[in-house]
Amino acid sequence: MNPRRRSRKQRLLDFCTFPIRALLLFHDDRFGLSSLRTERFDYVAREVTGYCLDIGCGRGNRFVTEFLSGHGLGIDVFPYEGLTPENLVSDLSQLPFGDESFETVTFIACLNHCPRSQRDSELREAFRVLKPGGRIIITMGNWLAEVLVHQLVRLYDKFLGTTLDVDGQRGMHEEEDYFLTDTEIRDRLRVAGFVNIRKKYFATQWALNHMFIAQKPVGFTSCPGRTNAGALG
């Protein structure tokens, strides 16, 4: 169960105050309102089933620890504050986990930061480590909202001394993007082997953010002779 799940009353309040919350870029929940990040985590957590691999977990591994009660593993390639060696991997296109190790894989606001030339291989790895019937969840904002937010956080950090720009902390790679189109996400999911692709909007963010949910075919079996990359500890 998600210990941070928002009540219906909280969701209504978040919906009504979305423009204020978006402009002020709440880094944490305050004044009885949810931050945009908490809101996003809440939507994704409602779709997670079983043991989850959160790719691109970021600072503090918050999604797994706070929204999944630790029932999963967050990983990243950058040593953000609050991450341990267990959370760090060197290459997202060669994950150190065995085939069919997870029931859910999530890319929360991060697939656009995977280098373009590696996106297909990283999604294929996500496919490999999922159990048959498991699901992948990818969140992505509206293109205009993503561009404006990335510029706004830079201004906040520059003039207000905040530390909201995690992309600036890590450094943007030339093959990263501010956003991905729906067409690209769907096409890459299909190339990786996923089926039953569907899109769900975040209502309390006025449909300016959304997620794609897709499934690994139930009858899929790993290729004979495939050597597992590793196993969960």
pLDDT tens digits along 141-183 = 987 777 776 666 666 666 656 655 555 555 556 788 888 999 9
Cβ neighbourhood burial of 159 (10 Å; 0-12, 13-18, 19+): exposed
The pLDDT confidence band at residue 24, using thresholds 50, 70 and 90, is: confident
- Provide the pLDDT for residue 69: 94
Instruction: List Cα–Cα distances, 211 to 99, 203, 224, 233, in angstroms.
Output: 25, 11, 33, 30
In a domain, 1, yes or no: no
pLDDT of 63 > 70? The answer is yes
In a domain, 160, yes or no: yes
The pLDDT confidence band at residue 221, using thresholds 50, 70 and 90, is: confident
In a domain, 112, yes or no: yes
Tell me the CATH number at 199: 3.40.50.150
Q: In this structure, what token pair is assigned to residue 133?
A: 């019937």
Q: Tell me how far apart the alpha carbons of residues 64 and 60 are, in angstroms, rounded to a whole number.
A: 9
In a domain, 233, yes or no: no
In a domain, 110, yes or no: yes
Q: Tell me how far apart the alpha carbons of residues 131 and 104 are, in angstroms, rounded to a whole number.
A: 8
Q: For residue 216, which amino acid is it?
A: K
Domain count, the chain: 1
C-alpha dihedral, 37 to 181 to 19 to 61, nearest 10°: 0
Mean pLDDT of the chain: 87
- Provide the pLDDT for residue 229: 40
- Provide the pLDDT for residue 105: 98
The whole domain housing 122 covers: 8-215
In a domain, 134, yes or no: yes
- Provide the pLDDT for residue 233: 31
Match 């503090």 to its residue by tokens.
60
Segment 195-199 mean pLDDT: 98
In a domain, 229, yes or no: no
Q: Are 10 and 34 in contact (CB under 8 A)?
A: yes
Q: What percentage of the chain carries pLDDT values higher than 90? A: 67
Read off the pTM: 0.86
- Provide the pLDDT for residue 226: 43
In a domain, 224, yes or no: no
Write out pLDDT tens, residues 119-143.
999 999 999 999 999 999 999 998 7
pLDDT of 41 > 50? The answer is yes
